A and B are shown apart, each in its own frame.
Chain A
Amino acid sequence: MSVAVRFSPADFEPVTARRQLQVSSRPSLSYWQDSWRRLKGSRRTFASLCAVMALGAMAVAGPWVWSVDPAAQDIDQISQAPAWPSSALIVPPYTPWAAVTATPTQAGDVVTNLRLAEPASTQAVRLVWEPVVGAAGYVVYRSVYDTAPDRALGLPIGEVLGADQASFEDRLDLEPRRYWYSVVVTDENRAEQSAYAALTVDTVRTVSAGDAELRGWVEDATVLAPGDQIDLPYHPLGTDYLGRDMLARLLYGARVSLFIGVVAPLLFVLVGVVWGSAAGFLGGRVDQLLMRVADFVIALPFLLFMILFKIAFGIGPGESGVFPMLVALVLLGWPSTARLVRGQILQVRQEGYVAASQLLGARTGYLVFRHMIPQTMGVILVTLTFAVPSAIFTEAFLSFIGMGVAPPTPSWGSMANEGIRTMLSHPHELLFPALIISATVLAFNLLGDGLRDALDVRMRGRE
């Protein structure tokens, strides 16, 4: 029995390969696109990236926007906390005041008729009184608290010797506020009587027309007459211990601090990456040689080299040492990065995909940049983010010992170092530079953290 098999011509057509067995449901993303996607997606990282960019913008453009001279000393507003703008009354220039003497006519252990010789101002408070017979002298006290409850007279402002002395002029650090003055009589053994005469004084902020011109508040002093009001320069973040504008100093300080804090780590991490990957990749004798050089450099004392560079560059006392600082940081900072990167490269070199890639004919450059550097990116970024704050702190320390920025150039570190002395009485002088250093360091740390996640090839494609 025969079976008839029927063929149709269609059966003899060649089979075509099905080109598309799979269709990707998502668009193909390059490494950088993927990284950017992850970076954008993490709000924390994105915020820190914005913060870092804002800091950069502040350093570049800030001093133009807030164009106050960071070195100008507003002697009348020293260590002022942030406050609303204030104004001052124009008064005639300060003239020395001859001490008032009077023949003592009254007996007793306390002066009478303690009064102001003229209206009290921040220029001077002039006190006069009726002296007493037999006094050896008078001690004048001033307090910012009421003296009445328990005879707490406050600061001993001054002492005049002689029974006939009947006046005292106080010019010490006067602010527009209420003061409680008291005058105590001393006997011949310089012992103070317990009784005292008291006077409450409210001072007004004043300035002379000449001083206003000298300080650049007005173009021409002759337009001002005594009794006029003049607006004082406004310091939104207050002033420091020499009356310099904190905001202007922070903005200028950003230039120095961020320059050192960003440029130095970038440079030395770059050097370290090249050095470390060369050592790790090439291996053998080259590795030995390169790493021994790194060991040698790590043993060099930073401060000594900083001083040597300063001398080598011919930088004398009182000149900025920022450039030698940069050179010293770069020349001495790279070995730690190099060590880490070398270790990582050695590890990655053993991986199967590297061998596969090599077998497929990848060139060295391709291997390093395609496989090894991305694998070490995490380590590099961690080093970088730790290097940024440490460089900012190094700058602060060096400025403090006089090796860094020269006064009056501000940097955040030197501002913090100066502010710490008055931490209790004027906390804002420490608070603002400390806050901005902390914020910068935090932003760089978070950014580094986020970048590590974003750039890590092992995280690729993950949420």
Chain B
Amino acid sequence: MMVEQPPTYRDPMSRLAMRQLLWLGALSLVGFVALMGALAWASSITGGSAIAGRAIDVETGTITRALAQEPPQLDSTRATDQASIFILGHVMEGLLRYDASNRLVPGVAERWDIRPDGATFWLRDDARWSDGRPVTAHDFVFAWRTIVDPANAAEYAFILYYVKNGEAINRGELSPEALGATAVDDRTLEVEFERPVGFFDKLVAFAVYFPVREDFYRSRDGRYAADAEDLVYNGPFMMTRWVHGAHVRLEKNPLYWNRDAVRLNVIDMPYVTADTGAVVNLFKDGSIATATLGAEQLDDAMKLRWNLGRYSDGSVFYIDFNFRPERLTSNFHLRRALQLVNDSGELVNKVIGLPGYLPAVSLFPIWLNGVEGPFRQEYPPPVVIPDLELARTHLELAKQELGVAEIPPLVLLTGDAPIANKQAEYFQNLFDRALGLEIRIDKQIFKQRLDKMTSGDFDMVAAGWGPDFADPLTFGDLYASWNGNNRGKYNNPALDEQVRIAQNSLDPRTRMDAFGEIQRILIDDAVQLPNYERGLVYVEDPRLKGVVHRSVGTDPDYTTAYLVENP
């Protein structure tokens, strides 16, 4: 029987399909290019004339910028977030304020006197609310009582614990009227302290200490500061427009006592977005006058030849250990071994690689002031030089003390931001390479991480702390055994003793000595591993001058800003 070979299978369909595929591919490519071209053309028509140049209007004194987040509301007694504090710093004024060089200058108070047991503030008579009524001492007393009143559950109530009975009222033991702040008359405010507080002048510049007018507060019926018209202003600017989630507009306050010093007329914020990419694109278009850059935009910024600036936002980031006795990290030698392989310079310079960031060597950041000069110059922190041999010796000691042949895996709790992730993986590799330790990364969202930190469910945690006021105490009491933010439950009577000195003394030298000692204990006892001090890189329209960037307080501050025609 003759057997025929099956015919070779040539798949004509597939050739047709291939041709179709090529055609469709080419067609879609052409279509895409045409669409993009059309869009670019359309945007050049609309954008060329209308949008460009809107960032700054020198004639009317207007600047346009983006707002990263919308404030939840503008009630200074309930403010906690950066957006609220930024806007409040422009539309309200406390007893004192910071000037362009970060010095305390008179605000609503004309003169003040701070004693060990209390303080007196004499208010200026030309301080006015935006409806023309004078700002009085009663407005401060009412605001402060509102904050400590447990019925209002203000998160920042603890910052008024320095005022007499503040803590007892907040715990519900006394009525708000017992607060140690009294209006002697309309223009004299008398404050009694719970304990001596040497930096009360810095505290009253903080947004939570701003005044609130009682009659207006009550007339709003629970809607105080929920909208632009539900707030009465005493600051350099006032809010004239607030479209929630979309637009905030500040205009110069014509009744502000120091109105001649304010040179901008309008700060318009018609964009609310936290997307740095989008904000930088708005700046590129000339729609806004300033933008903060992320790491991805740096190359682009250099190519576009922008003038960049940087500043430290004041916060310090570090790795905290868990000191609960059942945790291995309560062992000093283990912590010491980790400390001796940690190199914050390598982390910042090679891994993070952002110009705003500084390698941290201490809990106390570089911008804090000491007695006369910078704190870190007066009290240089002990230097830890990475030393692999010594670290391994300490690791052996740790194993002996803990009675284990190998250290079991340690859990490093961290946040979900890209930079936290990078940092955690860097440490995972570093500790494995140098010490043979296995690190498990526990990545959690902020709220969850805070829960786990509070319940002590970690060995190490990547944490950070931003300052509330410009005194080393905002960092210095973090590891006191009674501090709720001491998540690792570090308990060292020697350190507690120094914190008490720093809290209760009025002599700057004694206090700074105490902080110097706290700094030494933190490093010598390997209580934490400092990572970096955070900074930001920004670009500003060259016609905008005099903007102040701060580590503590209103940031950025446009009160002293002005515009020039030709930079």
Query: Which residues of A lie under 8 Å from residue B441 when comparing CB positions?
Result: 317-318, 406-407
Query: Which residues of B lie under 8 Å from residue A159 when comparing CB positions?
Result: 310
Name the one of B9, B295, B411 contacting A40, with C-beta atoms under 8 angstroms. B9
Would B296 and A421 count as touching, CB distance under 8 A? yes
Dominant secondary structure of chain A at its interface with chain B? loop
Name the one of A26, A155, A189 contacting B302, with C-beta atoms under 8 angstroms. A155
CB of B537 within 8 A of chain A? Answer: yes
Query: Which residues of B lie under 8 Å from residue A214 when comparing CB positions?
Result: 388, 433-434
CB of A76 within 8 A of chain B? Answer: yes
Would A463 and B9 count as touching, CB distance under 8 A? yes
Query: Which residues of A lie under 8 Å from residue B295 when comparing CB positions?
Result: 422, 425
Can you list, as one digit per residue, whether each of A12-35 has a CB less than 8 Å from chain B (1) or not (0)? 000000000001011101000000
Query: Which residues of B lie under 8 Å from residue A37 when comparing CB positions?
Result: 6, 9
Would A242 and B302 count as touching, CB distance under 8 A? no
Would A152 and B433 count as touching, CB distance under 8 A? no
Give A71 to B306 CA distance when docked, in angstroms.
37
> B314 CB to closest chain A CB, in angstroms?
15
> B24 CB to closest chain A CB, in angstroms?
15
Name the one of A26, A171, A316 contacting B411, with C-beta atoms under 8 angstroms. A316
Would A73 and B440 count as touching, CB distance under 8 A? no
Would B442 and A317 count as touching, CB distance under 8 A? yes
CB of B218 within 8 A of chain A? Answer: no
Name the one of B3, B4, B305, B442 contacting A150, with C-beta atoms under 8 angstroms. B305
A contact residues, total (Cβ < 8 Å): 59
Would A42 and B14 count as touching, CB distance under 8 A? yes
Would B310 and A318 count as touching, CB distance under 8 A? no
> B322 CB to closest chain A CB, in angstroms?
14
Name the one of A153, A189, A418 contacting B100, with C-beta atoms under 8 angstroms. A189
Would A173 and B6 count as touching, CB distance under 8 A? no
From 78 to 103 in chain B, residues with beta carbon under 8 angstroms from any chain A beta carbon are: 100-101
Query: Which residues of B lie under 8 Å from residue A241 when comparing CB positions?
Result: 422
Which stretch in B146-154, B344-352, B507-515, B521-529 binds the other chain? Answer: B344-352
Give A150 to B431 CA distance when docked, in angstroms.
46
CB of B424 within 8 A of chain A? Answer: yes
Would B355 and A143 count as touching, CB distance under 8 A? no
Query: Which residues of A lie under 8 Å from residue B300 when comparing CB positions?
Result: 424
Would B440 and A319 count as touching, CB distance under 8 A? yes
Query: Which residues of B lie under 8 Å from residue A151 when comparing CB positions?
Result: 307
Write the chain A residue with the least CB distance to B352: A173
Q: Please judge, given known A-B contacts A242-B351, A316-B440, A318-B440, whether A27 and B3 are in contact too, CB under 8 Å.
A: yes
CB of A82 within 8 A of chain B? Answer: no
With contacts A143-B302, A425-B296 known, what are 15 further pairs, Cβ within 8 A?
A37-B9, A40-B9, A41-B9, A73-B426, A78-B351, A145-B302, A152-B307, A157-B355, A173-B350, A189-B101, A214-B433, A402-B416, A407-B424, A424-B300, A463-B11
Q: List 26 A-B contacts (CB under 8 A).
A: A25-B4, A26-B4, A44-B14, A72-B429, A73-B433, A78-B350, A143-B302, A152-B302, A153-B308, A155-B308, A156-B308, A156-B537, A159-B310, A190-B101, A214-B388, A242-B422, A242-B426, A318-B439, A318-B440, A318-B442, A406-B440, A406-B441, A408-B428, A418-B418, A421-B296, A424-B296
